[in-house]
Structure 1
Amino acid sequence: MAVRIHFTDDDLAQIRLAQAPDPMWEALLSMHLLQTDTASLVFGAWRHTVRRRLAAPVGALLRLAPPVGYSADFLTPAAGSGGLDAGIGALLSTPRQRLGHDLAELARTGRRLPSWARRLADGDRGALTHLGRLYRHYFATALAPWWGRVRSRFDAERAVHDRYLADGDLGGLLNTLHPGLVWHRPVLEVTGLGVERDVHLDGRGLLVLPSYFCRRTPTLLKDPALPCVVVYPMPHEDALSTTSGPRSLDALLGRTRAEILESVADRGVTTTELAHDTGVAPATASHHVGILRKAGLLSTCRAGRVVLHTVTPLGLALLDGRRRG
């Protein structure tokens, strides 16, 4: 069984590889992972941390995104490619007809919906605003601390496939994205979804989106009338937070700075958290962070009321070399 996406010549000229990770898709797909215990080697520590930190009302948001079967299409608007604010702005502007259609589709699966789902289906402004607040809380808790990691992996994945687009080798691009995507010009088969249907692009083109939290099989929106995007899983190493392997990085950076770099590899952390993780005073941790930042191995940004340190692609490359040993 497969979803078959049919291309015209115009569609082939409009195949695009996403420029950045989409926070709305990453939010949705991470919600799926959060509600299961799959892929525990890679996501187990993340799942444990997020489950402890999420506020209870976010459970209602998860009801719109069951881990198996249909999730509401309106949760991943096309504007999400422009960043979180653009994505949530589009979410809050979802037409009433789309809200009603998607929630009715979700109700047909027998899924228990939030108490405010009926008001949401009617386009109630208060219900939409509440949904937006839940989404922001979810992103801040479940994704923002790890976003540097998501972005680094995304950039590495995009670099692998950019050369095909530069050479005009669409077959090479589509055949190397994921085993679940099979290209037989002019049809792209998306396998593993457990459904059989045909989607005709008719000049709309296709957006190809690598995803950090997508697991096992590629996915796409159910409604063929919506912009066509194929989301596929990025490859991961076996474990994100292993500390085994040679100590050559310690010799290069010093033990404390190596431990700090390891601590920020999988999530954004504060200076206080780094001090706790490495057993040094906050002032000492701040000093080492400054050195690593000047070397281009860490970046620092404000997330709400806290300042988070995350690993850069260069820092990630150093760590990955260490982990491969």
Structure 2
Amino acid sequence: MRISFLRNAAAWLGAGTAFVSLALSAPCAVAGSEYLSRPDVRSFIEAMQTEHALDLAELERVLGEARHQPTVVRLIGPERPKTSTPPVRSYPRYRAKFLTNLRIAAGARYWDRHEEYLRRAEAEFGVPAEVILGILGVETAFGQNTGSFRVVDSLATIAFDGPRRQEYFRDELKELLLLARDLNIDPLAIKGSYAGAMGLPQFMPSSYRRYAVDFDQDQAIDLIGSPADAIGSVASYLKAYGWNEGEPATVTVKLPAGSEADLVTGLERAHDVAELQGRGVKFSSSKLPEGLCSVVELPAPGKPSKYVAGFGNFEAVTRYNRSTFYATAVLELADAIRVARTRQMTARAETKSGP
């Protein structure tokens, strides 16, 4: 059974439904794309035709209309030279962008509106409602900012002219074209972030193909117009990357003075809990998941750093974005939304019971 890409293609277009309007409104577009005359693009087209039986005329139409985006090149940025001075990292500054009263309140309201789907996602995938909301909140503020770039433009720009990770983005461009074919949508219609992420949960095309689900069961996977599909797809993604129901993602730790350089591993789960305890690390909880953990530093310039141990569920969140700051902010926003939701429910109960 074919599942259509979305109920209403206009949801991807923002304003207007004609595909041609996208080419006219693409941000910072360079007119007169010369992609089709380039050998690397011709090789890409030939591979898509040979390996995936995509129609040659359709490939030439789409890539012929793709536009190089200088803004995308600037935003993706070059690799930082190894000899350059590392930037000053501040977790509190990063955290402050997402853990705002407005975003926390929006998360509690989102929970209230979509409780049915959040409860079902938790039952089917084992991912708590607040963690799903933490990701949706950090990624797009619950749909307020899903991106205004044509995804074809973004991916083609980085794939063929980007300063780094060209192979990865060529794979994502391939996945976008396959997704569009499989689900019968014009790839030129799809909008997203400057890096090609789409919808409420900001899925890359490969993730869309592998993990997105039709959670409202309306025969349409719509990650921009359907909160239900976004909720179920986030839970599906985290489960696929190893989320274990009921386990804490992180536990605060205290490191022995002078051991930080030896013990901090960031994204890598390289430590056994018993080993860390034997080296004098103090865990804030005695209920710890089995398996290896990482030790993550959360620096605050001018103040002592905080440290947490990251377990399997923390790693699952980092597979969404390979950043310890990102995963920590998602989980802290999740906790804050849960607390706000609990207060909301308590207040309602007290109002119903009366004096």
**TM-score calculated relative to the size of structure 2:** 0.27
- Could you say which structure has the larger radius of gyration? 2
- Greater length-normalized contact order (CA 8 Å, ≥ 6 residues apart): 1
Structure having the larger proportion of residues in strand: 1
